[in-house]
Structure 1
Amino acid sequence: MKSIVYALFSAVLVAGLSVPAFATVLAAPGTEDYRPPKIETQTPVNYPYLLRARSIEGFARVVVVVDQQGRPADVVVYDASHPQFGMALARSVREWTFQPALVEGEAAQSRVILRSDFSLRGTVTNMTTTEFLMNMLDRFTNPDFYRLSRFDELDRLPERTKEVAPVFPEEARGMDLTGEVMVHFVIDPDGKVRVPGIRRAEDELLAAVALQAIQEWEFTPPTRKGRPVYAHGVQPFTFK
């Protein structure tokens, strides 16, 4: 009988997001058998009226899960110089369509990062599949700066209220698979898991079953200084 160990999540001190695809296969960007998703159609990102009226410029970044049909399955604001920029970008991206990521020629679910820079001369949006760091200067100098909260900044560590164990497909249950998978994800103010992705995995099948399981987990709603927040954390799974 294979055992699965998953300790309570780790606090994220430096937040990074990666985009391995999860379907029946998993591949890292940059390898020969992986082609990242591409933007196919997009609606304009509207400049928030009040910020434009005050001649305020800035940026926003969102994390997007693109499904196998090229639709944005989930969108979460990662950070923004002003919350209104984040909401504007997320609202627009939910209407976009993509060419799905391809792994060995087959469509696969993936996770990407979209950034919009809001300038009075125009708005420019770019997509990346690389890891990134938050804008540290804005974080410390801009009182309006918004970002996901880290677990170590919350009033208390979220507790799992619903837990689903990873389940192997029938054809894989006799295989001797061992290794560790590191999943990072966001908990929303309702305690739901959002935009989960693989940070590190020693086996693509282990990664797939861990990712499918954590999407069903639920937690006590995260709060910071008494206010509901979105929180970003990391969950290790050890299969042995």
Structure 2
Amino acid sequence: MKTLHSLRLLPALLTPLLAPLAHAADQPAPPPAAASPSPASPDTAALSVITPCKVIRTQPISYPMPLLRDGISHGEARVLASIDADGRLTESMVLGYTHKPFATSALAALAVWKFQPARVNGQPVGTVADITFRFEVDGILLVERVGVPQYTPGDTYGSDYIYHPHGLRSLDSIPTPIHVTQPVYPKEWIDQGHRGTVAVDFYIDETGAVRMPSVSATQNPLLAAAASTAVSEWKFSPPKHKGRPVLAHCQQIFKFEPDAPVAP
């Protein structure tokens, strides 16, 4: 069994500090998704010391026997895994595969593996792990990218991938928003200097549901938590490519500034 770890230090960062601040402004607060250090200033995240999460393979990955019988000796599956601050797998989603049984084996392995949570300044936080499983008859190579998933269709997915996410430009039309909520932005945050831009990376699945919203740890943790929590509640019409529902990759930019709309 061969293993390769290629880690990108950009864990998704949400914080329980939202609750008291938002309630102070009489606004509903997003629920905390992970623990994080208390920010000494709005720029704390940029100075954070980040330790990525660690995957502990507690049992081998199974090479799909039906593919062997069909003479298929190699292939790939790519999966996103959401790991909370306690090291628990809270969600997984298939991003792509060359043959569907590879994705099935990858999900089965993730379901029983253990994880050490990512840490920011020594405190455990939630993170998103982008994991590619490269299946070969003589072994399986595991490539991990921990952090905000990057969508680069030309470089990331080969022509042999029969399932993969689509960018907005390749869709028949832009998915129609059915339900959209704005992030909370109470006056107290403004008074404390919490302002700036937050980019939320997410996917829209074949049913129109938002999946795996994530943000960079280098962004203001309060604003990032508010933005990603809002996006997680959004709903769209199913994205389609050539008339067929597909998985779509999206990014939403939020600008938190006084007396200005948060979402452009």
**Could you state the TM-score of these two structures normalised by the residue count of structure 1?**
0.79
Selected match of 2:132 from 86, 105, 115: 115
CA RMSD of aligned residues (A): 2.8
Question: What count of residue pairs does the alignment treat as equivalent?
Answer: 220
1:47-94 CA-partner distances (Å, limit 9, x unpaired): 222211123211122111111121121212222222332232123213
1:182-215 CA-partner distances (Å, limit 9, x unpaired): 1110111121111111258652321121111111
Larger Rg: 2
Deviation at 1:21, TM superposition (A): 2.7
Output the CA distance in 1 between the equivalents of 2:212 and 2:189.
Answer: 26
Output the CA distance in 2 between the equivalents of 1:45 and 1:62.
Answer: 14
Selected match of 1:197 from 208, 211, 214: 214
2:181 aligned with 1:164 = yes
Question: What is the SS of the residue equivalent to 1:94?
Answer: helix
Contact 1:182 / 1:200 at 8 angstroms: preserved in 2?
no
Decide which structure has greater strand share.
1
| 1:128-207 pair list within 5 angstroms | 128-129=145-146, 133-134=152-153, 136=155, 139-140=158-159, 142=160, 145-168=162-185, 172=189, 174-198=191-215, 202-207=219-224
Question: What is the SS of the residue equivalent to 2:215?
Answer: strand
Output the CA distance in 2 between the equivalents of 1:202 and 1:69.
Answer: 22
Question: What is the SS of the residue equivalent to 2:105?
Answer: helix
2:61 aligned with 1:51 = no
Distance 1:177 1:207, change over 3 A: same
Output the CA distance in 1 between the equivalents of 2:52 and 2:156.
Answer: 30
Unaligned runs of 5+ in 1: 1-16
Distance 1:174 1:137, change over 3 A: closer
Output the CA distance in 2 between the equivalents of 1:91 and 1:191.
Answer: 25
Question: What is the SS of the residue equivalent to 1:167?
Answer: coil
Selected match of 2:232 from 183, 191, 215: 215
Aligned to 2:250: 233
Output the CA distance in 2 between the equivalents of 1:232 and 1:176.
Answer: 32
**Could you state the TM-score of these two structures normalised by the residue count of structure 2?**
0.73
Output the CA distance in 2 between the equivalents of 1:169 and 1:42.
Answer: 45
